[in-house]
């Protein structure tokens, strides 16, 4: 089944998408429309965009077109591929610029440090695919065969797939609407020959949009998603968007593995002492996790050598094993292994 595109908030008479209120008057200027307490476009409704109450709503066509037209013909292909993946981990962030792709890459490196584990890193940050650069794979091409697309391998047990491999130039802009983005995500899941994989780490774009809904919808076909790792920085301007990401996960039924506080202090590369750069004015990620009753996975300090490793396409955890940031990455990876092993 397709996931609904929007939701009716708890204890609210307003529809998130159309902004109509239950008393029949829109919350924004426009013609009055009879709107029931629960918008007919709510979760699971077959009347989305079709009920009399939908007349006049600017999103009528969107709601109607989002309804399933029958079983997805690609479902069996996705199921066959994803059933070979033991653990599927989404890496999310409410806001861009918090180091989500860096965390995705270093988490993948740390998981692949166990030579007995087969790891895949799938980059679906379609408009900003930085994973090829971070993993040292710029200029690589995807090999296509009768069995599907082969991931590009960094190591024998670490494969990567990104839209960046499909571009003629790393400076090419991807100017796509939602349906085309969703089509590429589906192609990555049904056509890429991930094989028997222990961990599939999915680097997502910031926010809660089409790509996230499609991922949850398609990944669920091949079995349960283990959960989401949410990346934030300590300041409230980041945490306020992370709370939305947490609520998104709860609404679509994605387990939250935990939250990582990135850029939590600055580690001097000379003396390894840590100084606070982004002050946690509201207590930081740890306090937020306690308030929202979700796991706090740990804090990763800023280390200039992380940026250097990413620019050079190297594994920071291997290049700088003595850094406090490396210890944080390894400790967080160990926690994630333990949590998903219980699923």
Nearest Cα residue to 186 out of 157, 155, 221, 160: 221
Q: What is the DSSP letter of 2?
A: P
Q: Which pairs from 39-43 meet CB under 8 Å and 24+ separation? A: 39/8, 39/15, 41/4, 41/6, 41/15, 41/17, 42/4, 42/7, 42/8, 42/15, 43/4, 43/7
Q: For the residues 166-175, what does the mean pLDDT come to?
A: 86
Residue closest to 242 by CA, chosen among 110, 42, 102, 97: 97
256, 218 Cβ separation under 8 angstroms: no
pLDDT bucket at 69, cuts 50 / 70 / 90: low
What is the model's pLDDT at position 155? Answer: 95
Give the integer Cα–Cα distance in Å for 91 and 206: 10
Residue 133 confidence class, pLDDT cut points 50, 70, 90: very high
Tokens coding 13? 């008479």
CA distance 202 to 223: 15
Q: Supply the pLDDT for residue 36.
A: 38
Beta bridge partners of 261: 232, 299
Provide the CB-side half-sphere exposure for 283 (13 A, CA).
8
Question: What digits encode the pLDDT tens for the residues 206-259?
Answer: 988 888 988 998 988 878 899 999 999 999 999 999 999 999 999 999 999 999
- Could you give the 3-state DSSP secondary structure of residue 306? helix
DSSP string for 3-67: PPS--PPTT--S-TTT-B-TTS-BSSSS------SS-TTSTT-S-TTTSGGGTT-TTHHHHHHTS
pLDDT at 57: 67
**Res 35: pLDDT:** 36
Question: Is the pLDDT reported for residue 15 higher than 60?
Answer: no
Q: What is the pLDDT of residue 58?
A: 59
Is 0.75 surpassed by the pTM of this model? yes
| Average pLDDT across the chain, whole number | 83
Nearest Cα neighbor of 30 from 3, 49, 57, 51 is 57
């Amino acid at each position: 089944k397709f996931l609904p595109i929007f939701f009716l908030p708890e204890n609210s008479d307003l529809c998130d998408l159309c902004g109509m209120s239950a008393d029949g008057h829109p919350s924004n200027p426009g013609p009055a429309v009879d709107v029931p307490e629960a918008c007919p476009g709510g979760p699971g409704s077959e009347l989305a965009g079709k009920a009399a109450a939908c007349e006049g709503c600017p999103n009528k066509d969107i709601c109607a077109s989002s309804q399933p037209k029958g079983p997805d013909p690609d479902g069996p292909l996705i199921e066959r591929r994803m059933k070979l993946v033991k653990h599927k981990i989404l890496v999310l962030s409410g806001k861009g610029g918090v180091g989500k792709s860096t965390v995705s890459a270093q988490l993948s490196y740390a998981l692949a440090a166990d030579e007995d584990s087969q790891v895949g890193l799938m980059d679906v940050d379609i408009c900003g695919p930085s994973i090829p650069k971070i993993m040292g794979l710029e200029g690589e091409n995807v090999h296509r065969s009768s069995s599907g697309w082969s991931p590009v391998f960094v190591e024998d047990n670490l494969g990567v797939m990104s839209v960046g491999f499909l571009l003629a130039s790393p400076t090419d802009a991807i100017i796509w609407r939602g349906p085309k983005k969703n089509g590429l995500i589906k192609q990555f899941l049904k056509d890429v020959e991930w094989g028997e994989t222990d961990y599939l780490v999915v680097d997502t774009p910031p926010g809660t949009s089409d790509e996230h809904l499609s991922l949850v919808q398609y990944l669920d076909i091949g079995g349960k998603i283990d959960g989401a790792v949410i990346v934030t920085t300590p300041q409230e301007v980041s945490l306020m968007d992370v709370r939305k990401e947490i609520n998104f996960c709860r609404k679509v039924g994605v387990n939250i593995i935990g939250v990582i506080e990135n850029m939590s202090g600055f580690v001097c590369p000379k003396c390894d002492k840590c100084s606070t750069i982004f002050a946690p004015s509201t207590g930081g990620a740890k306090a937020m996790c306690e308030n929202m009753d979700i796991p706090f996975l740990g804090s990763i300090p800023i280390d200039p050598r992380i940026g250097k490793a990413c620019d050079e396409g190297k594994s920071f955890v291997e290049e700088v094993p003595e850094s406090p940031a490396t210890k944080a990455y390894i400790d967080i990876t160990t926690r994630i292994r333990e949590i998903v092993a219980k699923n």
